[in-house]
């Protein structure tokens, strides 16, 4: 069952239930009112007859019967009997052709003992009431049929049944229209989403103002599409650049080997060619390892075992590590703002990946510094720590600032320096994986400063 049908059925059921309760209530309370009003009229008739019979001088039974016969009231098949305390009939009146109501002595004694009571017999409503006159007790039995009242109730029943079923049908059709208007924006969203494909991710869903819940949903879809589009474009650029970077050393290797096999060469020539091929293979190995590390860092930390890492211990590994890479690379570490609590030095993460990220930033700082020196320091806040890497070298342009974290991107000032353009991209992915961020500032006066922000272990403990 689709949403429109469900809304229609639910709306119809709710309104039908309300109509049913209203109709039942009207019918029930109307019946009670009819019964109460008729019994009141029946009691008034009984009291009037008793008063005329015993309390008004000059009126005897014959005269009272003539009065009753000539009196028109809206109750039918009247019958009234007055008994004395010895159960003898003092007065009897019935409409023409109507037999008098007979009650047994038990019912008379019940009224005398417990007071007035009503009951129904052969479709007639009967009142038994006790009255006193001159210290004598009399029992009056009045009976009649309320044909007009019952006809009114029957007519009311028909009106309510018609209203109930017609109201249910009207509710159903209104529910169809109402549900159609509700699902119309949903259908519009579905139709617009169907137009979006992997080759047409720039298409967006229309968002109306002022926004409602469905417009919020459309806006959320648009945000998702924007992220998907960025991801697809990044993936496309990554694949294109990776294919190019991988094909370059492979082409160089195959070309050199092909040329080498064309003729005999001396030992020195073979050594030079083998060394050149070795350099290409080593570059290919570095590139492949970088691509694998980017793929590893491109996921999430779910399912990966995190451990406590002392950030200062990672930093202390950098000077010797980079010295082995290039003998003229120098890492100057400043721990002047060392915290009193060791907990501020701890972060949750994956030690090897985090070391690769920081190493890539520091390696870049050494590589592009005019003096090949990277200055590394630690800064602490309440819930975060910052690894600040600074060098003195060429300034990164505003255009390059927005692109240097893209895979394989190399700025105009780095064209002469060896590399693949993967270090910063890999570093950012790893830091993002650790719930951190990297910011960069570059100016002629201050040099280039990379700030790696990481949440300290105290932040995780406070959130537990």
pTM of the model: 0.49
| Tens-place pLDDT, residues 135-154 | 888 888 888 888 888 888 99
Whole-number Å distance between alpha carbons of 360 and 376:
13
| Tens-place pLDDT, residues 352-374 | 778 878 888 888 888 888 888 99
Mean pLDDT calculated for residue range 184-195: 81
Question: For residue 22, what pLDDT band results from cuts at 50, 70 and 90?
Answer: very high
Question: For residue 253, what pLDDT band results from cuts at 50, 70 and 90?
Answer: confident
Residue 120 has pLDDT above 60, yes or no: yes
% of the chain surpassing 90 pLDDT? 12
The answer to which of 118-127, 200-209, 352-361 has the lowest mean pLDDT is: 200-209
| pLDDT of the residue at 66 | 73
Mean pLDDT calculated for residue range 435-450: 85
Domains of the chain: 3-152 (3.30.450), 213-297 (1.10.287.130), 307-463 (3.30.565.10)
Mean pLDDT calculated for residue range 268-296: 74
Residue 244 has pLDDT above 60, yes or no: no
| pLDDT of the residue at 5 | 85
Mean pLDDT calculated for residue range 369-397: 85
Question: For residue 415, what pLDDT band results from cuts at 50, 70 and 90?
Answer: very low
Residue 181 has pLDDT above 90, yes or no: no
| pLDDT of the residue at 169 | 93
């Amino acid at each position: 069952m689709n949403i429109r049908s469900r809304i229609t059925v639910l709306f119809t059921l709710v309104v039908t239930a309300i109509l049913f309760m209203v109709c039942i209530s009207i019918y029930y309370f109307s019946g009670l009112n009819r019964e109460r009003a008729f019994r009141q009229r029946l009691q008034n008739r009984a009291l009037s007859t008793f008063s005329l019979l015993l309390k008004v001088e000059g009126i005897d039974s014959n005269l009272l019967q003539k009065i009753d016969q000539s009196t028109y009231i809206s109750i039918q098949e009247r019958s009234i009997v007055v008994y004395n305390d010895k159960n003898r009939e003092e007065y009897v009146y019935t409409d023409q052709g109507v037999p008098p109501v007979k009650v047994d002595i038990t019912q008379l004694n019940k009224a005398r003992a417990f007071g007035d009571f009503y009951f129904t017999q052969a479709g007639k409503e009967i009142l038994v009431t006790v009255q006193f006159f001159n210290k004598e007790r009399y029992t009056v039995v009045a009976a009649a049929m309320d044909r007009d009242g019952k006809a009114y109730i029957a007519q009311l029943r028909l009106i309510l049944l018609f209203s109930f079923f017609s109201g249910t049908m009207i509710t159903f059709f209104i529910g169809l229209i109402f549900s159609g208007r509700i699902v119309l924006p949903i259908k519009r969203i579905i139709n617009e989403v169907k137009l979006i494909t992997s080759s047409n991710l720039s298409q967006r869903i229309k968002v109306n103002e002022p926004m409602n819940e469905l417009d919020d949903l459309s806006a959320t879809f648009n945000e998702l599409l924007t992220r998907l589009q960025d991801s697809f474009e990044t993936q496309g650029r990554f694949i294109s650049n990776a294919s190019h970077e991988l094909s370059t050393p492979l082409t160089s290797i195959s070309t050199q080997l092909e040329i080498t096999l064309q003729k005999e060469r001396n030992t020195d020539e073979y050594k030079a060619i083998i060394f050149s091929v070795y350099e290409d293979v080593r570059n290919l190995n570095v590139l492949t390892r970088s691509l694998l590390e980017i793929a590893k860092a491109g996921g999430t930390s779910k399912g990966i075992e995190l451990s406590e890492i002392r950030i200062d211990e990672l930093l202390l590994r950098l000077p010797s590590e980079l010295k082995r890479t290039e003998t003229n690379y120098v890492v100057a570490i400043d721990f002047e703002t060392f915290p009193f609590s060791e907990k501020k030095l701890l972060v949750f993460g994956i030690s090897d990946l985090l070391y690769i990220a920081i190493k890539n930033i520091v390696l870049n700082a050494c590589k592009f510094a005019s003096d090949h020196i990277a200055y590394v320091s630690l800064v602490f806040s309440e819930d975060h720590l910052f690894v600040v890497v600074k060098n003195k070298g060429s300034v990164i342009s505003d255009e390059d600032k927005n692109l240097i974290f893209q895979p394989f991107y190399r700025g105009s000032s780095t064209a002469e320096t060896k590399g693949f353009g993967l270090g910063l991209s890999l570093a950012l992915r790893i830091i993002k994986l650790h719930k951190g961020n990297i910011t960069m500032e570059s100016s002629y006066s201050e040099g280039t400063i990379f700030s790696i922000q990481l949440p300290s272990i105290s932040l995780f403990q406070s959130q537990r």
